[in-house]
Structure 1
Amino acid sequence: MWVMRQNGAMSSRPSAPMHPHSHSNLHGRHGESATNSIKMLILIALAVITSAEKLLTADELISQPVPKEAQLLTGEALVNYVNSRQTLWKAEYVPGAEAYFKRRIMDSKFLERLPGAEVIQSIASDEEPPESFDARDHWKNCSSIISYIRDQSACGSCWAVASASAMSDRICIQLNGKIKVQITKKTT
């Protein structure tokens, strides 16, 4: 049995043994039993409401379909939608953030096909690709170079970082690990 103590705390046992016919069972000390009864009812109501509301896990949130109208939201409306649908974290709207990040990324016009450029449709090969492949295992002499992951966060020159990384790997592989160099986009 749960009992509300005079200080408002809940207890599973009475603070002192009470006689079943005692007035303190009904009215409590100093006329506070009505207040305590109301507090008890409020706590019970809150417990029932809280237990009835099921909190979703991240996997459950991800598996929910996103309504078409929500897919069209941007800016502050999108942030408000995200915050209203989950309680795992709080999204914050930062005016100007989208423009800031767009300026830092290579323009998509550089992905356009040049006039007269030949497009290779397929590469013919009779070999089946392996079930798995790990370059670090295949070229063990170069595993330290191949394993190195460069930080490209907030980098608009990811193409340069990726190219430098590939060059570092290829030099090491070609020379069978005799030369291990980290080429960077700043190398002159």
Structure 2
Amino acid sequence: MKLLLAVFLGLLAAVSSSPVKSLERDFVVYSSDLVKKINSMNTTWKAGPNFAGETAASVLDRLSTPGLSLEKAPKAHLQVTHGRAGAPPAEFDARTQWPHCPSIGRVPSQGRCSAAFAHSAVGAITDRHCITYPGLHWNFSAEDALTCITPTVLNNG
């Protein structure tokens, strides 16, 4: 997830500071250099190329939602109704806190689907359901959350 965030922020910075033409040319080199740098750390996880064979423009297109306008979005007025519970713990691992929940810690692949919002929301719902109702394991499906969305909205992902 950190890798995807780093790639996205890198692409965002590149788009805002250079024309798309140079971004197209530098995309493959940047991705390759990032993979090499991560793999040079010699961890148990190995990075690989993401979006192989795609252009930077096609990746950015799939990471956006057509017709989305933040100006038209309703503004939320949030109000804090509770105080701070104190300092956060030095360590916290939800997998050990709720070992009876197999969904916690599982990271499903969403493949080429650009609906990360649905996958993350459904994952959180599944985890919270398991925590609230121990022994009642139910895996909610991102597919259910996406039944009303056409492939065009998700950039054919």
Q: TM-score, with normalisation over the residues of structure 2?
A: 0.52
1:157 aligns with 2:115: yes
One of 83, 106, 111 as aligned partner of 1:124? 83
Which whole-Å deviations, capped at 9, do the CAs of 1:16-66 have from their partners, x for residues lacking one? Answer: xxxxxxxxxxxxxxxxxxxxxxxxxxxxxxxxxxxxxxxxxxxxxxxxxxx
Identity of aligned residues (%): 19
1:94 shift after superposition: 5.5
Match runs of 1:6-155 below 5 Å: 72-78=17-23, 80=25, 97-99=56-58, 101-103=60-62, 105-106=64-65, 109=69, 113-115=73-75, 117-120=76-79, 124-142=83-101, 144-155=102-113
| One-letter amino acid of the structure 2 residue matched with residue 129 of structure 1 | P
SS at 1:147 equivalent: coil
Which whole-Å deviations, capped at 9, do the CAs of 1:127-162 have from their partners, x for residues lacking one? Answer: 2111111001111111x2102112134322111111
Q: TM-score, with normalisation over the residues of structure 1?
A: 0.45
The answer (yes or no) to whether the contact 1:136–1:146 under 8 Å persists in 2 is: yes
Aligned-residue CA RMSD (Å): 4.0
The answer (yes or no) to whether the contact 1:76–1:93 under 8 Å persists in 2 is: no
Q: Where does structure 1 differ by over 6 angstroms across 4 or more consecutive aligned residues?
A: 82-85
Q: Greater Rg, structure 1 or structure 2?
A: 1
- Per the alignment, do residues 183 and 74 of structure 1 end up closer, same or farther by CA in structure 2, a change over 3 Å counting? same
